Structure 1
C-alpha cells in the first residue's frame, strides 16, 4: 500500500503523524510519501518539501507566493502519479490540497481530505469543488459532518485527536511544576499569538503590550509565551526587545504545558483555541488579517462566530476580538474580567468539559478505518 500525504501546518503534521501510526497498524507494509513535518517523518513519511512551504495566510500574501505554490503542487502531482500512490490524503491547507486532490482523482486515484475547510462559514459554493476533489471528507467536528451530509458529500466524523490525547481533567499543578512556577507567582497568563510568521507580525506586539497593561493591574502576574518553532522564537525575541514584559518566560515549544498551567490565556483564533478548551483554561480569542483580506472576509462570512469554542457551543462562550476590536484596552479588559470574576471564568470551563467529551472519539483510529473502508469497500 502506497499512501501519499500532504500537510502544510504544524497542526496538520500532528494529525498526519497520528494517522500514519494507525494506518501502519492496518497496513504494516505501507509506504508513506508526500509532504509533512518532523512528526510525520518520524512515523516514516518521505517528505519532499519543508512543512512551512504552505504556511501562507491572506489573499494578497498567497498571490505573492502563488508561482512557487503552483510549482510545488505540480511537482507533487507528478510525483504521486510516478510513485503509483493508492490514495492521496490532503491534510488541511484546502486551497492547496483540494486542487491537488482534484487532479489526482481525475487520474483515477482515490482522494481523502482530512480536516474540513470552513465551507460552512463562508464561500459555501466551494462544496461543489470539494465534491469533485475528494472521495471522502474526514471531519473533526460534528457540525461539519452535518453540513456535508446535507450536501450529499461522503463524510466521516472522526472526532479530534487533541481531545483524545488531552486528559479530561487537566493537571495544572504538574504543568506548573514542570515549568518551574511557584504558588507565589500568580496569576499565570498564557500568550499564544500563533504559529505562523504573519501571525507573529500582526499579533505579537499587541499581545506583548496587553501583557504590559495587565502587569500594572496584577503586579505578581507571570506571562508564558511559547514559540511554535525556532524561527518564531527568534521573531518573538526581536519583538520583546522593543516591548519588554517583566516576569515573562519565552519558551521553545511547550505550548501544551502553558495551556495547562495558565489561569487564563490570550490566544490567536484557530486550533490553539480548541487546545485551550481541552485544557479547561478560560480564554480570550483575538485575530487580525491584512486589511484587504479582512474587508473581503466580512462580506463572505456566513457564521456568527469564528472561534471553534463558540462554533461548538453555538453561542458566544468566549470573547472574540477581531481586527479593530483587537486592541490593548479591549483585550486587557476582557482578560482582567476572567481573572477577577470567577463566575465568568467558570461558565467557560463548565462548557469546555462537555465539548471535550463530545470530541473524544479516538480520531486517528477512526480516520484510518475510514481510509481503509474507502480503499477496500
Structure 2
C-alpha cells in the first residue's frame, strides 16, 4: 500500500477521560498538518468532537481497580481482539495508543509485529517499578511520547526511540498563580493562613492517610490557632468518608469543598497531600507541600522490592532532588507532618526558593505538548 501522507489514516486508542483529552489535542494538531487525515480507533466525546470514528464507546474500557478489571476481563479481551482485527483490516499509517498501558500496549505489540507503525503516548511508570517491562515496550512501539523529561532520559538509556513533548497540564495552568482570586472563588478569608489538605481520591487512600492528617491538623490547631484548613473532597463518597472522620474531631477550623482541588491548592499557603498526580498540580501552582503515602503492609513489602526510583513524588523526581518532604509508610507520623508543615510556615526563604525552582520546572514542561507530539508523529509518518 502506497503511503499517502497528504491524507493519512491515523488510528488512536484511548481508554479513559484523561486520554480522551490528550487524544483530542493531538488530533487537532495533526489536522493542522494533514487537513485530509482520517481518524479511526477508540475514544470518548472529546476525540469524537475532533473527528474520530470510534469503533465502540470508550466507556467500555474505563474500568478501575483489579477486582473490577477481573470482573470485566472476558469483555475487555473480546474488545481487544475486535480492535486488533479491525485495525489489521484498515491498515492505518500509524497507530497511537494513549495511556491505559495494560490495554493499549499489547495491541500495539501485535500490530507492530504485523508491520504497522506504532506510537505510545504517556509513558507507564516503568522507570520507577517493574523495569523489566522496557523489553516488551521496545518490541511494541516505534516511538514513545513522554510527558516528563526524566522519563525520556530512561528510554534513551534503553535505546527506545522517544520524544519528550511536555505536559498538557503545564500549558493549562497559568505560570502566575492568582491566590487572591482562588480564595475569592471559594469564599475564603483573604487574610488567613490556609493549609490545604488533600488525602487522595480513592477510598483506600483516604482511609490510610486521613486519620494521620487529621491528628496533625489537631496538633497544629493547638499550637497555631490562627491556621484554617481547607479539604477538597474528590467526590460524594469521599466527602462522606471525610465528614465521618471530621465528626470525631469537631470544632476544628476546617472548610470542606466539593471537587475544586486545583483551586484549593491555588488558594492555600501550604499543601499537605497524598502522593500522586495531584502533586504535579501542586508544583504547577507553585505551592510548598508535604507529601505523605501509606499502603497496606503486604503491598508495601512487595512495592519496596519492585520500586527502583530514588524519590516517589513528582516534584522531587522533576527537580532531581528532595525539594519537598516525602513521608512514607512508617515515616508518616503526626510529629513528622506537623514539623514539615511548620517548616514551610516558619521559613519563608525556603518556601520562596522552592517556588522559584517549581517555576523553572513549569516553564520546562510548557510549550504545546500536542504540537510537539504531532511533530514527532508526523516525522514518523514521513519516514
In the superposition, the TM-score normalised over structure 2's length comes to 0.84
Matched position secondary structure for 1:162: helix
Tell me the CA shift for residue 346 of structure 1.
2.2
1:269, 1:285 within 8 Å by CA — same for their partners in 2? Answer: yes
1:55 equivalent in alignment to 2:59: no
Provide the rounded CA distance (Å) in 1 between the counterparts of 2:297 and 2:20: 29
Q: CA deviation at 1:80?
A: 5.0
CA distance in 2, matches of 1:226, 1:54: 24
Aligned counterpart, 1:110: 117
Which range moved further: 75-84 or 145-154?
75-84
Q: Secondary structure at the match of 1:226?
A: strand
Q: CA deviation at 1:43?
A: 4.6
308, 312, 318: which one aligns with 2:314: 308
What is the CA–CA distance in structure 2 between the aligned matches of 1:291 and 1:64, rounded to whole Å? 22
SS of equivalent to 1:78: helix
Among residues 321, 328, 335, which one is paired with 1:322 in the alignment?
328
Please list, as runs of the form range in 1=range in 2, the aligned pairs for 1:55-94 lying within 5 A after superposition: 55-56=64-65, 62=66, 65-66=69-70, 68-69=72-73, 71-79=75-83, 81-82=85-86, 84=90, 86=92, 87-94=94-101
Matched, 1:255 2:261: yes
Gaps of 5+ in 2: 1-8
Residue of 278, 281, 294 corresponding to 1:288:
294
CA contact (8 A) 2:13 2:104 kept: no
Q: Distance in 2 between matches of 1:210 and 1:16?
A: 41
Alignment of 1:126-275 (within 5 A): 126-184=133-191, 186-228=192-234, 232-244=235-247, 246-275=252-281
Instruction: Give the stretch that moved more between structures: 357-366 or 326-335.
Output: 326-335
* 3-state SS of 1:120 partner: coil
What secondary structure sits across from 2:327 in the alignment?
strand
d(CA) in 1 for partners of 2:268 and 2:164? 31
Rounded Cα–Cα distance in structure 2 between residues aligned with 1:104 and 1:202: 41
Give the counterpart of 1:341 among 340, 347, 369. 347
Shift of 1:51: 8.3
Alpha carbons of structure 1 residues 207 and 341: separation in structure 2 relative to 1, 3 Å = same
Cα shift readout 1:71-106 (whole Å, capped 9, x = no counterpart): 314413413532637344333333333223223333
- Equivalent residue of 2:119, what SS? strand
Q: Say yes or no: does 1:360 pair with 2:366.
A: yes
Deviation at 1:329, TM superposition (A): 3.0
Larger C-alpha radius of gyration, 1 or 2? 2
Unaligned regions of 5+ residues in structure 1, if any? 57-61
What is the SS of the residue equivalent to 2:62? helix
Q: Counterparts of 1:319 and 1:128 in 2: how far apart (Å)?
A: 33
Matches within 5 A, 1:4-43: 4-8=12-16, 11-28=18-35, 30-36=38-44, 40=47, 43=50
SS in 2 for 1:189: strand
Distance in 2 separating the partners of 1:254 and 1:289: 25
TM-score by length of 1: 0.86
Alignment root-mean-square deviation, CA: 2.8
Separation in 2, partners of 1:290, 1:40: 38
Does the C-alpha gap of structure 1 residues 331 and 365 become closer, same or farther in structure 2, counting only changes over 3 Å?
same
Given that 1:192 and 1:265 are in contact with CA atoms closer than 8 Å, whether structure 2 keeps it comes out as yes
Q: Secondary structure at the match of 1:225?
A: strand
